[in-house]
């Protein structure tokens, strides 16, 4: 039930038999792609609803679409969550995009002792908006009905508090001896991964995370860049739980 092109519309823009595309999606459909009225498209709400729709008429800067058929898709199980240390430049942009394509549910960036990047409140807000946009584009490209949620600026205290509340959490650490696969619970409904900064976690930070409930695990003998580690680990999780391959 997929049209050739995918578009996003938040849940509040849906009615029982129609949906109103946001201005940017409307512009892309009618001005960039030049899709003709009555053409079939696919619209999703980022929360599992995917609908086959017929493109309709414009109302100002927005275009409506008639819902022909809609399906609700459950969330992937287990859900994957990544707590990612702050990194410089656009490294985390790439990580967000790739994790969104894999179906990761959440990514939260945090401050740590060796993190190169330092973000003030304004930068955090800009990053959050940018990552939301990247996640939407990645969902459309990968045909993922669920949007990845992302945010920046977690303090170390907030990070350890969240980790302590996760049903299952693991810390990727280059000095760990326990393989990640050996620490997994095959019945897990949600798995959180903690990924360190470009300079790695200090011994004290690693011990703090382990004490919070995220044991230290290894991906193997290779030392991966921080922007690649989460992608590799999540791919391994997908394979382990039979979700790819």
Q: What is the pLDDT of residues 69-113, one digit of tens each?
A: 999 999 999 999 999 999 876 889 999 999 999 999 999 999 998
pLDDT at res. 90: 84
Q: What is the pTM of this model?
A: 0.92
Specify whether domain 6-72 bears CATH 2.40.240.20: yes
Exposed, middle or buried, 196 (CB in 10 Å: 0-12/13-18/19+)?
buried
Residue 10 has pLDDT above 80, yes or no: yes
Q: For 188-222, how does the pLDDT look when each residue is reduced to its tens digit (9 = 90+)?
A: 999 999 999 988 999 999 999 999 999 999 999 99
pLDDT at res. 221: 92
Crossing angle of the two packed helices 91-102 and 226-240, in degrees rounded to 10:
10
Residue 16 has pLDDT above 60, yes or no: yes
pLDDT at res. 89: 63
pLDDT at res. 1: 47
Q: How confident is the model at residue 2 (pLDDT cuts 50, 70, 90)?
A: low
What kind of fold does domain 79-240 have according to CATH? Alpha/beta knot (3.40.1280)
Domain extent listing, the chain = 6-72, 79-240
Positive or negative: CA dihedral 36, 37, 40, 43: positive
CA atoms within 13 A on the CB side of 112: 29
Q: How confident is the model at residue 136 (pLDDT cuts 50, 70, 90)?
A: very high
pLDDT at res. 3: 54
Share of the chain above pLDDT 90, in %: 84
* Mean of all residue pLDDT scores within the chain: 94
Hey, how many other C-beta atoms are within 10 angstroms of the C-beta on 5? 17
Q: For 220-236, how does the pLDDT look when each residue is reduced to its tens digit (9 = 90+)?
A: 999 999 999 999 999 99
């Amino acid at each position: 039930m997929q049209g050739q092109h995918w578009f996003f519309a938040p849940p509040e823009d849906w009615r029982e038999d129609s949906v109103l595309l946001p201005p940017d999606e409307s512009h892309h459909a009618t001005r960039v792609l030049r899709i003709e009225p009555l053409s079939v498209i696919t619209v999703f709400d980022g929360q599992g609803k995917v609908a086959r729709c017929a493109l309709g008429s414009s109302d100002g800067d927005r275009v409506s679409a008639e819902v022909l058929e809609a399906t609700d898709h459950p969330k992937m199980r287990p859900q994957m969550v990544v707590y990612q240390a702050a990194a410089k430049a656009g490294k985390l942009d790439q990580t967000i995009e790739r994790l969104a394509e894999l179906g990761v549910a959440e990514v939260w960036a945090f401050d740590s002792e060796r993190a190169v990047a330092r973000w003030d409140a304004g930068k955090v807000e800009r990053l959050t908006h940018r990552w939301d946009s990247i996640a939407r584009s990645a969902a459309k490209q990968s045909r993922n009905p669920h949007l990845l949620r992302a945010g920046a600026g977690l303090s170390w205290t907030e990070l350890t508090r969240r980790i302590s509340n996760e049903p299952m959490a693991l810390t990727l650490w280059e000095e760990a001896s326990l393989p990640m696969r050996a620490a997994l619970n095959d019945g897990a409904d949600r798995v959180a991964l903690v990924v360190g900064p470009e300079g790695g976690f200090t011994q004290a930070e690693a011990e703090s995370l382990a004490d919070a409930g995220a044991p230290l695990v290894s991906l193997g003998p290779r030392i991966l860049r921080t922007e690649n580690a989460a992608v590799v680990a999540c791919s391994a999780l997908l394979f382990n739980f039979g979700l790819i391959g």
